[in-house]
Structures are given as C-alpha cells and as structure tokens.
A and B are shown apart, each in its own frame.
Chain A
Amino acid sequence: MSIAEPSFAPARAERSARRGLAARLLRRPSAVAGLGLLGAILAMAALADVAYPVDPLDMVGTPFLWPGADPGFPLGTDMMGRDIAAGIFHGARVSLLIGAVATLVSLVIGVGVGAVAGFFRGRADHALMHVTELFQTIPPFLFAIVIVAILQPTMTNVVLAIGLTSWPSLARLVRAEVLRLRDGEMVQASIVLGLSDARIILTHVLPNVLAPIVVSASIMVASAILTESSLAFLGLGDPNIVSWGSMVGAGREVLRTDWYVATVPGLAIVAAVLALNLLGDGLNDALDPRQNRR
C-alpha cells in the first residue's frame, strides 16, 4: 500500500477564502478605483490598433494643435504633427507589456533566489544573500542605464535591464517567508514522505508564499513602468516605438511654449502607476489575514 500524498495545498477552507478575496477587494473603494483605471488602460492598449490604425509616429495633422482645438485630435498634435492620443493608446501597450514582462523576469530571479536561499539555508543562503545585497547596493536606475547603454536600446534589452535590477527586495521577502515555512509541520511532513526538494518548494512552499508575491508583483509592474518611462525620457528607449516616456522627452524641447506636449503623456504614466499601486494596496489589505478579522 502506498501512502497517498497528503494534500496540504489549498484545502476547502482556503478555496472559499480565495473566493472571498474578490469580494473583499471589491469592498475597498481605492482597490475598485485602481481596478477601473487599470481596466481602462488595458482597454486602450487592446484597442490601439482599432482606434488608431496608423503608426503613431506618422505625421497626421498640423503641428502644435492644442488639446481641444481640433475635434479630430482631442489631445492635440506635437511639433511633428503626430497625434498625441494615438501615442497615448499605443504607448499604453508598450508600457504595460514592458512592465509585465520585466516584472516576470524579476519574479523568476527573485522568487528563485529567495526560495533556494530560504529553503536550503546555510552556505547557499549566505552566497545568494551576498549577491542580493550586491545588487541592492548598486543604484538600480543607474545600473539599468548602463545595461541598456552597453547592450543597445531595444525593447528586449530594456526589459532585461529593468528585470535584472528590480528583483533583490522580492528575493529578500520570499526568503523570509520560506524560512518561516521551512520549519513548519507541512514541510517537515513532506520531507518525511521523501518528496524531492524541488517538489516541496514548488508544490508546498511557494503556493503558501503566493499572497505577498502577488502584492509585490503589482507594485513591481508599477515601478517597472516608471523605470521604462524614465529610460525612454533619457532617450534610452527603442527608437522605433512610441512610449509615454519618450513622448514626454520629445515634448521637453517645446516646454516653454507648448507645454501640453510633455504634460499629457505624463498624466498617462501617473494614471497607470497609480492604478497598479492602488490595486497593490487593495490586494495587500485583502490578503492580510490580520485585517480580515476586523
């Protein structure tokens, strides 16, 4: 007779708790605002090709049309006669994509490093934490600038640079959580059952660390979007695509006379980052068991 592997992962109680998560999230006005805002930006990204089928880098109108001056260009045109609204729509796609993929990269590194360090402790932990601290010491934005400058500014390299420089705090968080679970009965029982380390980490440890990872991820996407726009503002973006940051950077040259060119795309960045931060705060409150009891 073989002993069935006990199911530690989501039991019924937890499943119903998870169903309750959506409800708890929707009870918080700030989380709802964040979700709504994020939904609008996602819709803009999805509809960019339908709403503005022409390349947003094309000259389509008279230069320097102020917002509202021409109903055909609700947000106006820039110094090259490019439609700012088209840039905002297509830029939404770039920002969200880069933010999401860069976060994925740093999730893989951060969760990997944190889980291995916390689970195996000892020498592996020591070595990995030294590397983590090293990456925390090097100023992340400067580091990203150097990586992009050396590797050439393409979308892939921007994603890599952001992903490579934003994982350390996540690694620390995951490590702390894993260390806490490591001595728990669940992991000990799995070891007694003879499960492989990889299996224990993947099926028993990580699912229980999911909540803080999810919260961090939404904040990380927000800061990845900020970093991407900052790189693009400095001219370190992919020159063939429109990004909110590069639009602000281009508008900087006409700041004295036509300040709307730089300010309008900036508002889009604020909206996207604000939405993700609100969502992160909401998730944090909703996932925190101490808060639920109130």
Chain B
Amino acid sequence: MVAPWLNRRRLRFWAGRLAHMALVVLGIAVVNFFLLHLAPGDAAQVLAGEAGSATPEYMAALRRQFGLDQPLPVQFAQYLGNLLTFNLGFSFRHGLPVLELIGQRLPATLLLMTASIGFAVLAGSALGVVAARNAGRLADTLISTLALLFYATPVFWIGLVLVVVFSVGLDWLPVGGMTSVEAGYAGWDHVRDVARHLVLPAATLGLFYLAIYTRLMRAAMLEVTTQDFIRTAVAKGLKPRRIALRHVLRNALLPVVTMLGVQVGSILGGAVLVETIFAWPGLGRLAFEALFQRDLNLLLGILLCSSAVVVVVNLAVDLLYTVLDPRIELAR
C-alpha cells in the first residue's frame, strides 16, 4: 500500500509541477539564447568572454561546438543539448567553467538571501502585528511611516548609509567581505565572524522587504480579525493571546508566504547591489564582475541559474502553503 500522503492526486500534482518547471526552464533557455544572439559580434565572441581574449583555435572550436555556421534551429538544439549536459560554457576571465563558478558563489548568496528574508519576515511580521493591534494609534502611525520610508529607499543607498554609520562612524561592524581572512578563524569563531560580516548586507537587503511584510501583515491581521471564526474563538472564551497566535497569525501568514514566492526574483536582483557594495562573494558580486569584464556568457549563466532558484523556491512555497492551510489541495 502506498503511504497516505502519496496518493494518486498528489502524484499527478507533482508530475504536472515537474512538467511545468521543465517548460519554464525551456522558456528561460529560449530567452537566454535570444539574448546571446542580440549581443554585438557573433556568439562565439560572446561565449569566449571578450573578442581577442581567447586563442583562434578555441574560437574555431567554439564555433564548431555551437554550430554557428548552422541554421538557427540547429544552433538552438545544440545550445539546449549543452544545457541538458550542464555545460554553460567556460569563463576565460576566471579560468573556470561557468557552472563551477556559479556553484562556488551560490552558497554565499543563498546565505545572504535566507538571512535577509528571515530578518524581513520576522521583524516585518512583528511590526505588522504591533501596528494592527494598535491600529490608528501612535505606534501604528510610527510603524506605518517607517515602512513607507523603507519602501521608497533604494537598496544601494541604505547600504552606503549603513556603512557610513556602523562601519566608518561607529566602527562596530566590518565594511565588507565575508570573513576576516587574516585572522584565520576556525569552528565557532568562524561562524561568529561570518555572522558579523552578514549583519549589514542582510539588513540592507532586508529593509525593503521588511517594509512590504509590515504592511502586508498589518493588513492581513486587520482583515482576518473581522472573520467569523475569530468571533467564534472569542465566543469560546479563548485568551486573546491564543487567538492572536493560533487563529489570526496563522491565517495572516498565508499572504506572507505567497509574497515570499513572488519576491525571490527581486531579492536575487537586490543581491547584485548589496553584494557589490559589501564585497560579499556571491552570485550578485559575480554578476557585477562579469558585467565589467564583459563576460556576457557568464552573465547569462547567472541569469539562468537565478531563474532556476526562483522556480525551486516557488515549488517550496507551494508545499509550505499546504502545511499552513490544509484546506488547500495540491491538485489543479
């Protein structure tokens, strides 16, 4: 007998989801291929990083490998074939395959993303709850104004201001990087060191989203409070605290989780700015370097992998949704 959670409906859901994911990845590949051909010069020059930086033999090999003398559909088939074998090309500037470079840098970006989203969701939700419970009063006005300001402030500017205040002025936190290389920490010292380096970049990236989650949570709390089941809970004589946590918060979390899926892509974009400012060795910083070295193929590889991250996170969000609200069925 199959496990109860793996019934036919769920299996069909996952099959559909996977097919859908494959379609999206294919679409992204089409867009990437198109962009590659939009660049000035032929694709081999783009792939080689910069005209002249590769040997003529390598250029000829590239043209053969990508079949640049072939008609476009054949070229596309070959491009897809390369993608399916996880061949994203080679970065001459870095002297490494693109995929390997991205693999090296991805963990730092994921750490930054998780930290800033965690900060934004936790602090934003807390502020939203406080604002909703004090709706119309001073605390609400204060929090709402702050959220409005953070929502309007460019990420890169927040980063620079935080550096001026906390690194240059107060000298509390490091200006940039991920570790103090010269100190050579190990074990818990290393973790603490990375955490210290993480504070400013995570706060910079998170403040914009904190504003969003604050507003969202405030609205959701106010909305949920008016619903029937809350009245029932009150009538049952539950303590206000328990109602707020168990009934209101749990339901108000749904839009927060939805937002998470919508925001991943934008967070990855913000990571480019934040990692550039704080010299955080992640994908965003790599994208910035690729930009300046005109390593367009590396840039396209980063775009592809970032999109893949978005797809995976959205899948996780769907799963989380069914956990938070059992009424939501996974079938379509």
- Asked if A and B are interacting partners, one says yes
B28 touches A234 (CB 8 A): no
Q: For the complex, is B266 an interface residue (Cβ under 8 Å from A)?
A: yes
Contact B28 A137, beta carbon cutoff 8 Å: yes
For the A-B complex, the count of residue pairs with Cβ-Cβ distances under 8 Å equals 138
Verify A145–B154 contact, CB threshold 8 A: no
Which residues of B are found within 8 Å of A266, using beta-carbon distances? 153-154, 157, 160-161
In the complex, are the beta carbons of B152 and A142 less than 8 A apart?
no
Bound CA–CA A258/B148 (angstroms): 28
Q: Which of A138, A141, A236 contacts B28 (CB 8 A)?
A: A138
B265→A140 contact, CB < 8 A: yes
How far does the Cβ of B284 sit from chain A's closest Cβ, in whole Å?
A: 8
- Are B310's CB and A141's CB within 8 A? no
Given the complex, which residues of B lie within 8 Å of A143, measured CB to CB? 303
4 smallest CB-CB distances across A and B, nearest first, come from A141-B269, A266-B157, A139-B265, A274-B152
Q: Whole-angstrom distance from the CB of B216 to the nearest CB of chain A?
A: 14
The distance from the CB of B46 to the nearest CB of chain A, in whole angstroms, is 8
- With the chains together, A263 CA to B156 CA distance in Å? 11
Q: Which of B195-253 contact A (CB under 8 A)?
A: none
Chain A positions within 8 Å of B152 at CB level:
222, 270, 273-274, 277
Q: Is B39 positioned at the interface, with any CB of A under 8 Å from its CB?
A: yes
Check if B149 sits within 8 Å of A230, measured CB to CB: no
Can you name the residue of chain B whose Cβ is closest to the Cβ of A233?
B156
- Determine if A248 and B303 form an interchain contact, defined as CB atoms under 8 angstroms apart: no
Chain B residues in 8 Å Cβ range of A147: 35
* Contact in complex: B303, A230 (CB < 8 Å): no
Contact string, B274-310, partner A, CB cutoff 8 A, digits 1/0? 0011000000000110011010100110110011001
14 A-B pairs with CB atoms under 8 Å apart are A137-B311, A139-B310, A140-B269, A142-B287, A150-B296, A230-B273, A235-B292, A236-B291, A245-B154, A248-B160, A259-B160, A266-B153, A266-B160, A277-B151
- CB pair A139–B269 under 8 Å, yes or no, is yes
Q: Beyond A139-B310, A226-B154, A255-B164, list 15 extra A-B contacts (CB 8 Å).
A: A130-B23, A130-B27, A131-B27, A134-B28, A137-B28, A137-B310, A139-B264, A139-B265, A141-B269, A142-B269, A249-B156, A256-B168, A266-B153, A270-B154, A273-B152
Q: Annotate A107-147 by CB proximity to B: 1 below 8 A, 0 otherwise.
A: 00000000000000000000000110110111111111111
* B131 CB–A CB distance under 8 Å: no
Residue of B nearest to A274 (CB): B152
Task: Count A interface residues, CB 8 Å.
Answer: 44
Chain B residues proximal to chain A, CB less than 8 Å? 23-24, 27-28, 31, 35, 38-39, 148-149, 151-157, 160-161, 163-164, 168, 262, 264-266, 268-270, 272-273, 276-277, 287-288, 291-292, 294, 296, 299-300, 302-303, 306-307, 310-311, 314
Determine how close the nearest CB of chain B comes to the CB of A41; give it in whole angstroms.
Answer: 13
Given known contacts A150-B296, A263-B164, A139 and B153 CB-to-CB distance under 8 angstroms? no
| Chief secondary structure at chain B's binding surface | helix
**Known contacts A151-B38, A230-B155, A270-B157: A139-B303 contact under CB 8 Å:** yes
For B24, what are the chain A residues with a Cβ–Cβ distance below 8 Å? Answer: 133-134, 137
In the complex, which of the residues A134, A146, A226, A278 contacts B303, with contact meaning CB atoms closer than 8 Å? A146
B272 touches A142 (CB 8 A): yes
- The reply to whether B35 and A146 form a contact with Cβ atoms under 8 Å apart is yes
Chain A residues with Cβ below 8 Å from B163 are: 255
- Residue from B153, B270, B277, B296 in contact with A141 in the complex, judged by beta carbons closer than 8 Å: B270
Complex interface: chain A residues within 8 A of B291 (CB): 145, 149, 234-236
C-alpha spacing A278/B168, complex, angstroms = 33
Q: In the docked arrangement, what's the CA distance between A277 and B151, Å? A: 9
Please, which residues of chain A bring their CB within 8 A of the CB of B272? 141-142, 145, 234
Which A residues are CB-close (under 8 A) to B294?
149
Complex interface: chain A residues within 8 A of B277 (CB): 252
- A266 to B154: give the CA distance in the assembly, Å: 8
Cβ-neighbour of B299 out of A136, A149, A255 (below 8 A): A149
